[in-house]
A and B are shown apart, each in its own frame.
Chain A
Amino acid sequence: MRYHTVIIGAGMSGLAAGIRLAYYEKPVCILERHTTIGGLNSFYRLRGRNYDVGLHAVTNYAPPGTRKGPLAKLLKQLRLRWDDFDLSPQCGSAVEFPGRRLRFNNDFELLSEEVLREFPDQADRFQKLVEYIREFDELDLSQQPVSARSVVGGFLTDPVLVDMLFCPLMFYGSAKPRDMDFSQFCIMFQAIFEQGFARPLAGVRKILKSLTRHFKALGGHLKLRHGVSEIRIEGGRAVGVVLDDGTEIEADNVLSSAGVVETLRLCPDAAQPDLPPAGEVSFNEAIFMLDRQPAELGHRETIVFYNDAERFHYEPPAEPCDVRSGIICSPNNFEYPDGGQLDEGCLRITSLANPDYWMSLPEPDYIAQKEAWCERMVESALGHTPDFRPHVVETDIFSPRTIRKFTGHIRGAVYGAPEKVLSGETPVENLYLCGTDQGFLGIIGAMLSGITMANNHLLRPVGEATHLAGR
Chain B
Amino acid sequence: MIFGLEFPPIENLVEWPNWFGPEGSWYGFNKIAFISLVAIVATSVLFILGNRKRSMVPKGAQNLVESSVAFIRDGIVLETMGPDGMRYLPYLVSLFFFILVGNIFEVIPFFHMPANARMAGPAVLALITWAYYIAVGLKHQGPKYFINAIAPPGVPKALYILVVPIEFLSTFIVRPFSLAVRLFANMLAGHILLVTFSVLCITLFTASLLALVLPLSFFMLVALTGFEVMVAFLQAYIFTILAAVYIGSSMHAEH
Co-assembled chains A and B:
no
Binding site for A on B (CB under 8 A): none
Binding site for B on A (CB under 8 A): none
